[in-house]
Amino acid sequence: MSRPDASAAHPPHRHGDKPVTSLLSILRKPWLWAFIAAGAAFVATAAVTQAGGWGLGMTALTFAAFSVLVGIGQMFVITLGPGNVDLSIPATMTLAGTLALKAMAGDPAMIPVGLAIALASGLAVGVVNYGLIRLLSIPPIIATLSASFLIQSAAIWSNRGLRVKPPQALADFATGRALGVPNVAVVALLVAVLAWVVLERALAGRRVLAIGQNMRAARLAGVPVDAVRFATYVSCAVLAGLAGFLLASFSGGAALNMGAEYLLMSIAVVVIGGSSIAGGNSNVPGIWGASLFMFLIVSMLNSYGAGAGVRMILTGVIIIAIVAAAGGRKVSR
């Protein structure tokens, strides 16, 4: 028999709030492993690639940026506690990209309208998702999965096989760099900083963390549980909309399967980044580390000439190893 809250079973330990222990506290950070792994994959790839370290780094930042945008949204949803996950991210990306590009029709003057449409479609998806979860009491995994069929159908219906090109100025922005850093990476970095502030410093983030640990206690302590969960699902969908808008602009047009790889990616970067899949305990830096890692691991296997099958198997094995190694570090919570 073990006792859940005996003082004896949980020796008090101090957090790293003293200078002496600050190094130790960094070593205990759950996101450290994602960055170590990304660094290792970077070194291994840069050693054999022709493009050189700088080129590889910039490419990694570009592609990681899209994973970061959807990963942050997914992280907040997963933080809400067991059972919370948004499976409609790929469909939302597709819908947002499709509608926005169609509305802009290649006209640079319409770029703000296109962006607004992309974000609004994300907003609508978020409202529908939480409506299904709350009003019909459907588990989030089912609600967002079924919603994604509706969303995907809406995208197909509005697209009708057309491939609209983004306005040239927007395409230039999405593929361009400012001071050598990819623009999309700058956008993702700004979003990440904002997400960090919300999670670590804002009342809203504190409430998300509380709900993830004990929803009933949060409600009784006066946390507006429904409002917080609603806002979280909506934010996740809006971020997916933004990611879809940028990805469609980046790749020269929206495609119906453009979001497909971001379903597992969004969940993988949360887990590899050291956030707890059980909720209540998350971190933003890990999303960046894990997103870079997920891109670099594929680059590494490519540059060593691994075939598609071997690549997928090794990717899976490496992810499991990272999660196992990071998981062992989280005992102290």
Asked whether 28 and 329 are in contact (CB, 8 A), the reply is: yes
Q: Is 178 in the site for other proteins (CB under 8 A)?
A: no
Q: Is 24 in the site for other proteins (CB under 8 A)?
A: no
Q: Name the residue among 234, 232, 258, 228 with its Cα closest to residue 120.
A: 234
Restricted to residues 102-121, the positions that interact with other proteins (CB under 8 A) are none
Q: Is 224 in the site for other proteins (CB under 8 A)?
A: yes
Q: Is 8 in the site for other proteins (CB under 8 A)?
A: yes
Strand partners, 177: 182
3-state secondary structure (DSSP) of residue 1: coil
Selected from 69, 101, 225, 269, the binder of other proteins by CB under 8 A is 225
Give residue 277's identity as a one-letter amino acid code. Answer: I
Selected from 52, 161, 180, 222, the binder of other proteins by CB under 8 A is 222
Cβ proximity to other proteins: between 309 and 328 the closer is 328
Asked whether 110 and 104 are in contact (CB, 8 A), the reply is: yes
Question: Residue 293's Cα: distance from chain center in Å?
Answer: 13
Cβ proximity to other proteins: between 160 and 333 the closer is 333
Both tokens of residue 133? 């979860």
Cβ proximity to other proteins: between 158 and 213 the closer is 213
Question: Residue 80's Cα: distance from chain center in Å?
Answer: 15
Q: Is 305 in the site for other proteins (CB under 8 A)?
A: no
Query: Which stretches within 214-261 are classed as H helix?
Result: 215-220, 225-250
By rule CB under 8 A, what string of x and - marks binding of each residue 258-297 to other proteins?
----------------------xx----------------
Residue 200 CB coordination number (10 Å): 13
Asked whether 67 and 269 are in contact (CB, 8 A), the reply is: yes
Number of residues that bind other proteins (CB under 8 A): 42
Q: Is 209 in the site for other proteins (CB under 8 A)?
A: yes
Q: Which of 81-89, 146-154, 207-215, 261-269 is the region at the interface with other proteins (rule: CB under 8 A)?
A: 207-215
Selected from 107, 172, 226, 261, the binder of other proteins by CB under 8 A is 226
As to burial, measured by CB atoms within 10 angstroms (0-12 exposed, 13-18 middle, 19+ buried), residue 329 is middle
Shortest distance, position 69 Cβ to other proteins, whole Å: 22
What is the signed CA dihedral for 93, 94, 97, 98, rounded to 10 degrees? Answer: -160
Restricted to residues 143-172, the positions that interact with other proteins (CB under 8 A) are none
Selected from 19, 109, 135, 216, the binder of other proteins by CB under 8 A is 216
Selected from 29, 177, 219, 329, the binder of other proteins by CB under 8 A is 219
Q: Name the residue among 60, 34, 24 with its Cα closest to residue 285.
A: 34
Q: Is 324 in the site for other proteins (CB under 8 A)?
A: no
Q: Which of 79-87, 201-209, 232-240, 303-311 is the region at the interface with other proteins (rule: CB under 8 A)?
A: 201-209
Q: Tell me the DSSP string of 83-103.
A: T---TTHHHHHHHHHHHHHHH
Instruction: Determine the Cα–Cα distance for residues 43 and 296; give it in Å rounded to an integer.
Output: 10
Q: Is 316 in the site for other proteins (CB under 8 A)?
A: no
Q: Is 128 in the site for other proteins (CB under 8 A)?
A: no
Q: Is 201 in the site for other proteins (CB under 8 A)?
A: yes
Q: Is 18 in the site for other proteins (CB under 8 A)?
A: no
Instruction: Determine the Cα–Cα distance for residues 242 and 260; give it in Å rounded to an integer.
Output: 16
Give residue 124's identity as a one-letter amino acid code. Answer: A
Selected from 105, 194, 203, 320, the binder of other proteins by CB under 8 A is 203
- φ, ψ of residue 109 to 5 degrees: the values are -65, -20
- Contact positions vs other proteins (CB under 8 A): 1-15, 17, 197, 201-204, 206-207, 209-210, 213-214, 216-227, 280-281, 333
